[in-house]
Amino acid sequence: MVNFLQLLVLGLLAGGVYVGVGVGFGLVWGVLNIVNLAHGALVMVGGYLTWTLFTRLGLDPFLSLPLDALLLFTIGYLLQRGVINRVIRAPLLFTFLLTFGVNLVVINLLLLLFKSDFRSVTPSYAGAGLELGVLVIPFTRLGALVVALLLAAGLAFVLNRTRTGLAIQAVGADRDAAQLVGIDLRHTYALTFALGAACAGVAGGLITLIQAITPTAGEPYTLQAFVVVILGGLGRVTATVAGGLLFGLIEVFGQSIPGSGSVYANAIAFGLLVLVLILRPQGLMGRLR
């Protein structure tokens, strides 16, 4: 029972990162219809900024998160406005191809700038945590989960309560109608991608606390974001949050199978995913679109 509780906590904490990675990916996919293969690479850009600020200036990794968001917002805006907007009306697979190119460019620029050394941020409080009886809750992971949830809440607020957010949703629902009512498509698209990228940046900052990063370390996260977003359901922030937490739980409980541990992690996650898709194609919490 205690072990079960601890695993439950572990799963939710692990899910925090997936929520962070998933919300940006889901926003871009849901609104722009772009499967952004460069998402993991953008995550790493945020990671490297946090690492740089921590090692050069001693800035606390949690304090550098807004700067990650700002940097990635800017990069995301320019990327969408300058490049992706050029193919946005081509079929899905073309934007996919385009983001694959962006992915290659970003990863290799990171490799040029930061080399292939493994980098990690270990602040003084790393490893410290709450101990509730036998349950252990590390501060950094708890912090990561809280930040990820705040990020999702913030994003949901922007999307549902601000003019910009409503414009983004309108564009996602019906591009032509949105244009008719006077929404600037180019700007709105760029804003959407920028918001998605900003979320990626924050997720990257959180990831440096949990693992060592290299320029290619973001690639698995792209794959996981895929699963998280579909698992929850496309088109709603809350659905992605549920998907992320659920993915963390699946991973942790899969890992705790004695002996074989997580060797089937992907098979379990994807198996479940396929099952969900077949039984409930809109995802666990998604709207039918």
Partner 1 sequence: MLRAAFTTKPTEGGRRWRRLFLLLGGVVLLYGLLAPLTSLDALQSAGFPLLADKLWFRIATATAMFVVLASAWNLVGGLTGYAAFGNVAFFGIGAYTCGMLISRAHWPLFLALPLAPLASAAFAALVGVPLLRLRGHYFAVASLGVGVAVGEVIQNVEYRGTPVFGGSTGLFLPIFSVDNRDLVFYFLMVGAAALTIGVTWLVLRSRFGYGLIAIRENEEAAAVMGVNTTAYKVAAFALAAALTGLAGGIFAQWNVFINQENVFPIEYNVQMILMALVGGAGTLFGPLAGAVFLYMLIQFLSGSLPVSLDLPFLPSDARPVLAQVILGLLLLVTVIFVPRGVIDFFGGQSRLSLAYLRRSLRETSV
Partner 2 sequence: MRSRSSVLLVVAALLSFACGGTAGTGGTSTGATITFGAPLGLTGSLTKESTLTQQGYDLWVDWINQQGGINIDGVKHPVKVKYYDDTSSANQSAVLMQKLITEDKVNFLLGPYGSAATATDAAIAEQNQVPMVEANGAAQAIFNQGYKYTFGVLSPANKYLQGVVDMAATLTPKPTSIFMLSADDNFSLEVANAVRDYAPSKGFTVTLQKYKNGSTNLAAEVQAAKAANPDIVMNSGHLLEAIAINKAAKEYKLNSKLFAYSVGPSTPDFINSLGKDANYVYDGSQWTPQVKYKPSFYLTESQYVDAYHKKYPGAGDPDYHVAESTAACLAFQKALENAKSTDPKKVRDALAKLDVMTFFGQIKFDSRGINTYKPMVVEQIQNGQHHTVFPTDVADVKPMYPTPAWDQR
What span, in angstroms and rounded, lies between the C-alpha atoms of 174 and 77? Answer: 21
Instruction: Considering the complex, state which of residue 109 and residue 130 has its C-beta at the smaller distance from partner 1.
Output: 109
- The reply on whether position 55 binds partner 1 by CB under 8 A is no
User: Interacting stretch for partner 2, rule CB under 8 A, among 26-34, 120-128, 184-192, 273-281?
Assistant: 120-128
Task: List the structure tokens of 32.
Answer: 């722009």
Selected binder of partner 1 within 18, 25, 29, 221 (CB under 8 A): 29
- The reply on whether position 106 binds partner 2 by CB under 8 A is no
Give strand pairing partners of 137.
130
- The reply on whether position 103 binds partner 1 by CB under 8 A is yes
Task: List the structure tokens of 88.
Answer: 């946005």
Using CB under 8 A as the criterion, what x/- string covers residues 232-251 for binding partner 1?
--x-----------------
- The reply on whether position 108 binds partner 1 by CB under 8 A is yes
- The reply on whether position 226 binds partner 2 by CB under 8 A is no
How many CB atoms are closer than 10 A to CB 184? 13
Instruction: Give per-residue burial for 202-226: e unless 16+ CB within 10 Å, then b.
Output: bbbbbbbbbeebbbebbbebbebbb
CB of 15 to partner 1, least distance (A): 19
If you compute the radius of gyration of the chain from its CA atoms, what whole number of angstroms results? 19
For 109-175, the DSSP string reads HHHHHH-S--B----TTTT-EEEETTEEEEHHHHHHHHHHHHHHHHHHHHHHHSHHHHHHHHHHH-H
- The reply on whether position 102 binds partner 1 by CB under 8 A is yes
Q: Which does 284 bind (CB under 5 to 8 A by kind): partner 2, partner 1, none?
A: none
For partner 2, the binding residues (CB under 8 A) are: 3, 6-7, 10-11, 13-14, 17, 108, 111, 115-120, 122, 126-127, 129, 131, 136, 138, 140-141, 210-212, 214-217, 219-220, 248, 251-253, 255-256, 258-263, 265-266
